[in-house]
Amino acid sequence: MFSRNKIAMVMAEFLGTGLLTAVVLTVGRSSVGLPYFVALAAGLVLIGGMLMFGPVSGAHFNPAITLGLWSARKVKTLPALVYIAAQLLGGMAAYLLYSYMANTTWHNTGHFESRVMVAEAVGTLVFSLGWAAAVYQKWETGRAAATVGVAFVLGILVASSASAALLNPAVALGMRVWVWGTYVLGPVLGAIIGINLYGLLFAPENGLLTRGASADKPKKKK
């Protein structure tokens, strides 16, 4: 039941989400905590995390992405629930570690704003399109990590005009801005729409290369 592989998968999601949250906390609350620097730092962490843990767990590091993949039947229900629990615990652990090292604590400061929810949804939709491309196209780890990392940076920049641009409920928990209607519902809706939209319109049909793909057609036998 608790095999080494299953424990490794859960720990990968816990550690990866914790690392992502810790970096966003550190950069976001520093003197260079501008959206551009936060986006670049988060993108680099995601690329590194996917290279380290992608072959182990898939390296979701985000409850919204896990739910999006689950809605597209790319993740089964039980693993999805376990992943989400590990991700939320990772976000909270990052906050506790950061508050201890920085010798400071703060209460949840989030509140509902419709424009924040929309910004989080749109930013996560952009991010999830990169994730969907990697999953549906079945890219190898390096290419998938680069695409997802860049998509994450772009999603954060898109959302930063109206929100903290977290695009991740677990990071929102660690940042102490957890609000169901904004930093939870927004990213979840964006991920579900983005991943299923890509699967409906852009994914290869029956595993075959789509029109315009750079591959030679098989030659007919004489």
Distance of alpha carbon 177 from alpha carbon 187, whole angstroms: 13
DSSP-assigned letters across all residues of 157-193: HHHTTTS-----HHHHHHHT---IIIIIHHHHHHHHH
Residue 106's pLDDT is 81
Asked if 112 and 181 touch (Cβ cutoff 8 Å), the reply is yes
Give the start-end residues of each E strand in the chain. none
Map residue 77 onto helix, strand or coil: helix
Residue 111's pLDDT is 82
Tens digit of each residue's pLDDT, the chain (222 residues)? 678 899 999 999 999 999 999 999 999 887 676 888 999 999 999 999 999 999 999 999 999 999 999 999 999 999 999 999 999 999 999 999 999 998 888 888 778 899 999 999 999 999 999 999 999 999 999 999 999 999 999 999 999 988 889 999 999 999 999 888 899 999 999 999 999 999 999 998 864 444 443 334 444 544
Looking at the chain, the number of H-run helices and the number of E-run strands are 8, 0
Residue 35's pLDDT is 83
Q: Give all domains of the chain, ordered by start, each with its CATH number.
A: 4-205 (1.20.1080.10)
Distance of alpha carbon 119 from alpha carbon 141, whole angstroms: 29
The tens digit of pLDDT for each residue in 77-131 reads 999 999 999 999 999 999 999 999 988 888 887 788 999 999 999 999 999 999 9
In degrees and rounded to multiples of 5, residue 33 shows phi and psi of: -75, 45
Distance of alpha carbon 167 from alpha carbon 219, whole angstroms: 46
Tokens representing 49 are 């995390």
Q: Which residue has the tokens 């424009």?
A: 115
> Beta-carbon neighbour count of residue 218 at 10 Å?
6
> Beta-carbon neighbour count of residue 96 at 10 Å?
12
CA–CA distance from 183 to each of 16, 34, 47, 209 (Å)?
A: 19, 19, 22, 36
Burial of 7 (0-12, 13-18, 19+ CB in 10 A): exposed
> Angle at which helices 63-71 and 114-136 pack, to 10 degrees?
60
Residue 2's pLDDT is 73
